[in-house]
A and B are shown apart, each in its own frame.
Chain A
Amino acid sequence: MNGEIATIFAMAAQPFTAATAGEGDFLRILLLQDFNTRVVVAGAMLLGAVGGVVGTFLLLRRRALMGDVLGHAMLPGVAAAFLATQALGLDRSLLVLLLGGGIAATLAGLAVIGLRRVSRLDDDATMAIVLSGFFGLGVVLLSVVQASGGGGQAGLEDFVFGKTASMVTSDVVVIAIGGLLVASLAVLFFKELRLLCFDDAFAASLGRPVMGLDLLLLSMTVVTALVGLQAVGLILVVALLVIPAAAARFLTDDLRWTVAGSSIIGAMGCWVGVTVSAAAPGLPAGAMIVLATAGLFVVALLVGPKRGLLPRWSLGRSLRRAVGRDHLLRSMLECREATGNAEITADALITNRFWSTGGLAGLLRVARRAGEVIQIDRDRWRLTDRGEIEAAAMVRNHRLWEHYLLAYAHLAPSHVDRAADRIEHVLDPVLVRRLETELGALVDAGSPASPHPLIEDPSVGDVGATGGEDR
């Protein structure tokens, strides 16, 4: 039993072009020059694309891990189908095994839904229990298969880890049929599935059969997982359902584009994984497909235009800069107002806003490059004419908002500065004009007076009123 299971690894490790192994063959693989290569690559890419489509809906329905449950749950079905064909003396055919797996996965899906209904256990627990129960049964049946001997059980073990290498044209045809089925269901029920994913309560109120749609999604997942068994095996098939969909979420918010992006990422991941495993002997294809897709996920996580870390970081950075520049200009004008001196030292600015020395230096540098301040000598700075106009507008917005809060929100004068500090950057001209009309009687046409002392004494201080975003 021991050695026999160990052969799985040997086979999982087998690259599918073992016959043509060699250094110069990488180009051949890359250019799809062999028929066998073309078959395998086509099958794997098709699979990745279908997984991406179904996975998007699963992810948005917050059922990403159902793929994991269904994948694992296929093992007893496949093993039972194998035992049945053996007992009946039939030839082992892929379709029968897949049918067994499909039945088992459907039962598992229904078991999760049922267990959730009748017990107080949460989603996670029901999924974990069903998964382990089915997989345990699968392991039992697998040990029966191995103990009973007979030829061809090795093929059964391929389902656990997948064996892209063994893909032949008929397998690709199976994948294509399954994929087409799932894809056409997704197109046909796109509107309903979208509604289900984003607002199931609304869908129910419109009279859409939410339970039926969930079952539709479940069966689409089962079909995808079934055809995925061939390539990545039942443990990792969840990766094809989860990773591309999660990656596509970083790219766009539009569901159509998410589906498209997810299927492209899935297909790309499968292609890269298959190619790498073919070129480098000893790398199992199923695992390489997952790792390649995960690589694409990391790329999307970093640079995805919608939620990627780098775009978000740079957006945050430019926002922080704009806010800092506004604060600097206003602070300089306020210092001048308080002291009457146009030449302002960095110390005065720091007293005004509690900037860090380094942060202030950076802001001043940026403002100087923009031509808004001039450096007089090492420590003293002055607003340019342009800077003065900008600063005046900023001070005006700030104080208009302060007066508005005083007059309408009835805040204490000591509490308005901080609120205005946040809002001043986003006051558009229309809003400013409305504030001017509303407050016409309270503020004069020029720059209104500040309702609170400008340079706070830190020892007395309402420290929270300053500080703000520039730490």
Chain B
Amino acid sequence: MTMLIADWQWGYDGWIIVITSLVAMTCAIPGSLLLVRRQSMLGDAVSHAVLPGIAIGFLVSGTRDGGWMLAGAIVAGLATGMLTQFLRGLGGVDRGAALGVVFTTLFALGLVLIVQVADSVDLDPSCVLYGQVELAPLDVVVWSGIEMPRAVPWLLGVLVVTFLIVQVLWKELLVASFDPATAAAQGARPNLMQQVLMVLVAAGCVVAFEAVGSILVVSLLVAPAAAARLVTNRLRPMMLVAMLIGIVAAIGGHLSALTVPGWLALETTDVSTSGATAVFATFLVVLAVLASPQQGLFFGVFYRLAFRFRIAEEDLLGVLYRREVESRGLGQSTGVHLSELGGGGPGLAFRGIMRFAAIRLRWRRFVTQSGLIPHPDQIQLTDAGRSRATVLIRRHRLWELYLAGAAAIPVDHLHATAMDLEHLANPELLASLEAEAAKGERDPHGRVIPRD
């Protein structure tokens, strides 16, 4: 670390990462709930709307006392939720518009209030909006014998309380998030849970305002949760993964704020860590969208391609096997030239894939070049390839037998369907097909079902 970045100081940069990580972890908990409730923009709205609460907290206490700010922000967060609900319910306003009306009004009110108090109170308003985590490590206290930034014990406290609240209300929050109607029927009080969530979001916004500012907090609320959502389907792992991703975003954000300006040959090193953290968190979401094992674009394309190639190989083996059977005893060549496949039987993929499949099969020693003048496109089965092809053909004909019997599909429609189904390799399915085989030695077309 110290080698990579010239002016790295553990006592300073380390604390920045700790503070941002704590904020990210605190935000990941309500953020995950917001995400599964499809209310992410409510997080954005609350993060704007806590501004008047914070300003009134300052106005009342006259200091930067965390408790007052927290109280003011929670009231403002609850007000956002309730007013939005009121406008939607009683006023019949569209959800997005209701949010828009409420949070812009509250934000404007907060702006007016902050401008009023900015002169009289020792308050740095830019901190509220953009966050200045760079300044946080400079304000230190001694706590249990260790000198640490004043924000750290405070953040730890909020994180623990948030965690405990979610832990205690876990079942209620879960059912209220996924099925409000059932929740209401079971007495889990979905509306109350919504208010609890609003409190947690507002608390997250207040702790985040030191680190990333009231606008970028939505980034830490939503982005880690969204990235986690793309890699897992269950809520509890999702929250844990979101917390981890938040920590990664905190580390990556600060490191990139320190290093990226250097790569771009900018002379400045005074780049906002808050902004960089938000950008990094978004980058992680994009990464998850691309590379998530379950839902990522990359793996989706990869799996589809791999499946397609496997089908092509199996089809090619099938073609070679049938050719061998046809030409047996006729003294003809038992090989196939790839150009013969151009017209394509049913289910045959295009020639390029076939050529690739031929190369792979040759590499696996399932086929060899044949003919008097060896040519890569002229191929025939090896012994290994023949036994592999036998398995496939058997599967195909067993399917035909089954389809003709159980599904009563007309004989002239069997082949195409079996052509698709023969690629399924589920062992249980194959076992039940084998049971079907007891019925006969021949498929509905009258061909022998080979034994492997």
Contact surface of A with B, Cβ cutoff 8 Å: 1-2, 5-6, 8-9, 12-13, 59, 62-65, 67-68, 72, 115, 118-125, 127-133, 135-144, 146-148, 161, 235-236, 238-239, 241-243, 245-246, 249-250, 282-284, 286-288, 290-291, 294, 297, 301, 307, 309
- 26 example contacts (A-B, Cβ-Cβ < 8 A) are as follows A6-B124, A6-B126, A12-B111, A62-B96, A64-B100, A120-B295, A124-B40, A125-B38, A128-B43, A128-B218, A136-B216, A136-B274, A136-B276, A139-B278, A143-B270, A146-B270, A147-B268, A235-B48, A235-B215, A241-B100, A242-B100, A246-B87, A246-B98, A284-B112, A290-B105, A290-B107
Interface residues in B74-103 by Cβ distance below 8 A to A read 87, 90-94, 96-101
Q: How far is the CB of B28 from chain A (nearest CB, A)?
A: 14
B281 within 8 A of A: yes
Q: How far is the CB of B343 from chain A (nearest CB, A)?
A: 36
Enumerate chain B residues within 8 angstroms of A148, measured Cβ to Cβ: 266-268
Q: A9-B118, A59-B94 are in contact. Are A136 and B126 (CB under 8 A)?
A: no
The contact of B215 among A135, A144, A283, by CB within 8 Å, is A135
The contact of B289 among A6, A9, A63, A119, by CB within 8 Å, is A119
The contact of B118 among A6, A249, A294, by CB within 8 Å, is A6
Q: How far is the CB of A326 from chain B (nearest CB, A)?
A: 27
Q: A144-B271, A236-B104 are in contact. Are A128 and B216 (CB under 8 A)?
A: no
Q: How far is the CB of B49 from chain A (nearest CB, A)?
A: 12
Enumerate chain B residues within 8 angstroms of A294, measured Cβ to Cβ: 101, 104-105, 108
Enumerate chain A residues within 8 angstroms of B378, measured Cβ to Cβ: none
Contact indicator B96/A9 (Cβ below 8 Å): no
Enumerate chain B residues within 8 angstroms of A243, measured Cβ to Cβ: 100-101, 104-105
Quick one: closest A residue to B126, CB to CB? A5
Q: How far is the CB of A306 from chain B (nearest CB, A)?
A: 10
Enumerate chain B residues within 8 angstroms of A63, measured Cβ to Cβ: 96
Enumerate chain B residues within 8 angstroms of A146, measured Cβ to Cβ: 270
The contact of B90 among A62, A249, A309, by CB within 8 Å, is A309
Interface centre among A68, A124, A238 (most CB of B within 10 A): A124
CA distance A252 to B190 in the complex (A): 33
B121 within 8 A of A: no
The contact of B41 among A127, A133, A147, A307, by CB within 8 Å, is A127
Interface residues in B199-238 by Cβ distance below 8 A to A read 213, 215-216, 218-219, 221-223, 225-226, 229-230
Contact indicator A283/B112 (Cβ below 8 Å): yes
The 5 A-B pairs at the shortest CB distance, nearest first, are namely: A136-B278, A133-B282, A139-B275, A132-B219, A5-B126
The contact of A13 among B105, B115, B219, B272, by CB within 8 Å, is B115
Contact indicator B108/A127 (Cβ below 8 Å): no
Starting from the known contacts A62-B96, A291-B112, 8 additional A-B residue pairs (CB-CB under 8 Å) come to A59-B94, A62-B94, A138-B275, A148-B268, A239-B108, A243-B100, A246-B93, A249-B93
Interface residues in B107-130 by Cβ distance below 8 A to A read 107-109, 111-112, 114-116, 118, 124-126, 130
Contact indicator A140/B272 (Cβ below 8 Å): yes
Q: A132-B278, A132-B282, A301-B91 are in contact. Are A9 and B114 (CB under 8 A)?
A: yes
Quick one: closest B residue to A307, CB to CB? B92
CA distance A138 to B116 in the complex (A): 27
The contact of B226 among A8, A9, A121, A238, by CB within 8 Å, is A121
Interface residues in B272-325 by Cβ distance below 8 A to A read 272, 274-279, 281-283, 285, 289, 295, 297
CA distance A243 to B97 in the complex (A): 7
CA distance A12 to B277 in the complex (A): 27
CA distance A376 to B355 in the complex (A): 105
Interface centre among B115, B221, B270 (most CB of A within 10 A): B115
Enumerate chain B residues within 8 angstroms of A65, measured Cβ to Cβ: 41, 44, 96, 99-100
CA distance A5 to B132 in the complex (A): 11
Contact indicator B108/A290 (Cβ below 8 Å): yes
Interface centre among A6, A12, A143, A161 (most CB of B within 10 A): A143
- Convert B28-42 into 0s and 1s, putting 1 for each residue whose CB lies closer than 8 angstroms to a CB of A: 000000010011111
Quick one: closest A residue to B213, CB to CB? A139
Q: How far is the CB of B211 from chain A (nearest CB, A)?
A: 13
The contact of A136 among B111, B229, B277, by CB within 8 Å, is B277
